[in-house]
Amino acid sequence: MRKFYTGIDIGTYHVKAVIAAPAERPDLPMQILGTGTSSSRGMRHGYIIDRAEAAKSIREALMRASAAAKIQVKTARIAVGGVGLDEVRSTGDVTLTQSGGIVQDRDIERAMRESEKRASQKLTNRTVIHTIPLEYRVDGTKVLGRPQGLQGTKLSVDTLLITMLSQHYDDLLEATETAGVEVEGVMAAPLAAALVTLSKAQKTAGVVLANIGSETLSIIVFDNDTPVSVKVFPVGSNDITNTIALSFQIPLPEAEQMKRGAVTGSDVPQKKMEAIVTTRLKEMFTLINAHLKTLGRQRLLPAGIVITGGGSGLTGASDVARIILKLPSQVSQIGQLTRGTGIDAAWAVAYGLCRWGFADDTEGNHTLGEALSGGWDSLKQGLRSLLP
């Protein structure tokens, strides 16, 4: 049977499932065999509040994708996101006592485990999803590139730990498995989206990917081809819908249509509606700008900001981002990896999970960066899924 991969993006308003198979050539996009979507139930701000209802939504999306692909799905990779997603920074140090002080893979793994141990007080009730190395040092000297093969007495590694509230993480796993699918991998949603929206050139120069969802705004920042920050804000495109509904005293469905540009009444003050959308977008990008300032990267990302997610299609989003951040700005087209697949930016997370599955099978987690177009060398030792 032809090998295929399934990715499930469980969002606040929609569950999206993608089934994809490798293309005949590695430089071509994966072939989309089937897609399925359903309205999310039992979700709030990206986390599960009712497992049974969430499981029904997951099952419905999978059934539609399976029917389109004519394939029975038994395993899948899922994305974790929402306000429970966060980051912790830590450092791990180990003494190089074996192999004549030559840095080996096992030394790097020990140092990264030590970094998690040191951060344990900050990890109460949290599950570590990914441990990403940011910088290596041997005897206090910064390493440019890979540390393997260097000689010294002490190896240090600065890490970015991407974490999830353990309760939310467990709920997500249980809901997916209740839907009849075995979870074979878990990835932070911003990482999954980045796999198919950002090029190596963008990640190397420095870029922020912003996903505007219904109830959350998530970002991931890259510099020197390395993920350096992940952040989720509890705001989303629904805030714009709610403001429009209150301003014009209209039902939410009509407010949603207006937000998307489908103005239905001659009495609607178009300029006022556009001002509402612009004001809310300014608030979102101001949050991003403040976070970039804390990272010391405000106005210092040459590749600018790439906007994705369901809210990326809002009129003026790219222009507002450019004005607030004073950076180059564009709406994601998902890029080379999805050309010809027929899916848009709203499917980036689910499709990215399929790409991850393919890379994991062909190269293994330790070389995930090499397996993907525009890959992340810094993730070779760090990216992993932690399942119960």
What is the reported pLDDT for 309?
85
What are the backbone dihedrals phi and psi of residue 373, each rounded to the nearest 5 degrees, phi first? -60, 130
Tell me which of 3.40.225.10, 3.30.420.40, 3.90.470.20, 3.30.465.10 is the CATH number of domain 5-83+166-194+336-379. 3.30.420.40
What is the reported pLDDT for 224?
92
In the predicted structure, residue 165 carries a pLDDT above the cut 70? yes
Q: What is the DSSP letter of 316?
A: T
Q: With left for phi above 0 and alpha for psi between -120 and 50, is residue 249 left, alpha or beta?
A: left
Q: How far apart are the first and last CA of the chain?
A: 29
Mean pLDDT of 107-112: 94
Which range among 99-108, 206-215, 332-341, 373-382 shows the weakest confidence by mean pLDDT? 373-382
Alpha-carbon span 141 to 125, nearest angstrom: 35
Structure tokens at 167: 């309760």
204 against 1, higher pLDDT: 204
**pLDDT band at residue 322, thresholds of 50, 70 and 90?**
very high
In the predicted structure, residue 338 carries a pLDDT above the cut 90? no
Show me where the domains of the chain are located.
Answer: 5-83+166-194+336-379, 85-164, 202-331
What is the reported pLDDT for 270?
81
In the predicted structure, residue 144 carries a pLDDT above the cut 80? yes
Q: pLDDT by residue (tens digit) across 344-379?
A: 778 889 999 999 998 887 765 443 433 333 333 334
Fold match between 5-83+166-194+336-379 and 202-331?
Answer: yes
Tell me which of 1.10.3720.10, 3.50.50.60, 3.40.50.720, 3.30.420.40 is the CATH number of domain 202-331. 3.30.420.40
Q: Which residues contact 253 (CB under 8 A, 6 or more apart)?
A: none
Answer whether 0.85 is exceeded by the pTM: yes
Mean pLDDT of 192-201: 92
**pLDDT band at residue 320, thresholds of 50, 70 and 90?**
very high
What is the reported pLDDT for 367?
36
Burial of 330-343, coded b for 16+ CB within 10 Å and e otherwise, reads: ebbebbebbeebeb
Alpha-carbon span 53 to 100, nearest angstrom: 57
Tell me which of 3.40.50.620, 3.40.1190.20, 1.10.569.10, 3.30.1490.110 is the CATH number of domain 85-164. 3.30.1490.110
What is the reported pLDDT for 105?
92
In the predicted structure, residue 263 carries a pLDDT above the cut 70? no
Mean pLDDT of 119-145: 93
